[in-house]
Amino acid sequence: MKFYNKYILPKLINCVCSQNDIGRIRRQFVPMAKGITLEIGMGSGLNLPFYDPSKIDLVMGLEPMTPLRKLAEKKALELPFEIDFIGLSGEEIPLENHSVDTVLVTYTLCSIPDVFKALNEMKRVLKSSGKLIFCEHGKSPDDHIVKWQNRLNLPWTKISGGCHLNRHIPELIKKSGFKIVALDTGYSSPLKLLSFNYKGIAVPE
Ligand SMILES: C[S@@+](CC[C@H](N)C(=O)[O-])C[C@H]1O[C@@H](n2cnc3c(N)ncnc32)[C@H](O)[C@@H]1O
């Protein structure tokens, strides 16, 4: 499992997250980030090309998996805005209260072990005027798909780096003290187990 997690899993995550349907979602949402921006679970840096440099003061990429962070660091060398990397998990964000304008989280709330702790940390570091931009896959609205999401969730978490198929993303966000001000949902590919997307914006309540 050590070999798998170190050498195979990062490549698998990079490959799955590079799909075109996800790329289209990144293109729509990432340019909304502005000011001091914290990206939670930056992965291999697939959002980096979509930031609008004219709106960004600083991007901080928090990513606990070293091989993924290294891929993102390579991509960052070519970009016209400042990027800092944080090699920690979302449950322990080493930033001051109310110091960030935007938190961006894409396809990561599915994988964070203590997702409530991480969302509370995101709320703590956001300014009161700040925004949480989220694009995540999760629980399908269709009973026959949810049945399979629930059945396959445990084995899937084992091979996917802890990704859950069946998290209801808006519920998690609202229960953590955010108000959702924009929400768009729908399948992004025929692979329905993995592709019901929740995309939107939330603000601290
Ligand atoms: C499916 S990948 C998505 C990566 C990237 N956000 C993207 O959109 O391509 C899930 C990411 O969640 C990260 N992750 C897992 N546990 C985490 C935690 N506790 N805190 C922050 N990120 C975490 C993984 O390291 C991985 O980069």
pLDDT per position as a tens digit, 72-89: 999 999 899 999 999 999
Compute, in angstroms, the gap from residue 143 CA to the centroid of ligand 1.
27
Protein residue with its CA nearest to atom 13 in ligand 1: 41
pLDDT recorded at residue 22 = 97
pLDDT recorded at residue 2 = 83
Closest by Cα among 199, 201, 202, 203 to 25:
199
The pTM for the full model equals: 0.98
- What atom of ligand 1 comes closest to residue 105's alpha carbon? 6
Residue 76: C-alpha distances to residues 30, 49, 50, 58, 116 (Å)? 15, 9, 12, 12, 29
Q: What is the mean pLDDT of residues 4-22?
A: 94
Tell me the three state secondary structure of residue 12.
helix
The confidence band for 126, taking pLDDT boundaries of 50, 70 and 90, is: very high
Name the token pair of 144.
């026959």
Name the token pair of 20.
């075109």
Residue 10: C-alpha distances to residues 120, 134, 188 (Å)? 27, 22, 22
Query: pLDDT digits over 140-183, tens only?
Result: 999 999 999 999 999 999 999 999 999 999 999 999 999 999 99
pLDDT recorded at residue 1 = 77
**Does position 100 have pLDDT exceeding 80, yes or no?**
yes
Compute, in angstroms, the gap from residue 88 CA to the centroid of ligand 1.
11
Compute, in angstroms, the gap from residue 89 CA to the centroid of ligand 1.
9
Q: In sequence order, what are the residues at sequence separation of 6 or more whose Cβ sits closer than 8 angstroms to the Cβ of residue 109? A: 115, 118, 119, 134, 136, 138, 167, 169, 172, 173
Instruction: Output the CATH code of domain 2-204.
Output: 3.40.50.150
| Tokens 């996917």, residue located | 160
Alpha carbons within 13 angstroms on the beta-carbon side of residue 183 total: 17
Closest by Cα among 61, 197, 203 to 136:
197
pLDDT recorded at residue 148 = 98
Q: Tell me which amino acid residue 13 is.
A: I
Q: Residues lining ligand 1, CB < 6 A?
A: 13, 17, 40-43, 46-47, 63-65, 68, 89-91, 106-108, 111-113, 118, 161
Protein residue with its CA nearest to atom 10 in ligand 1: 108
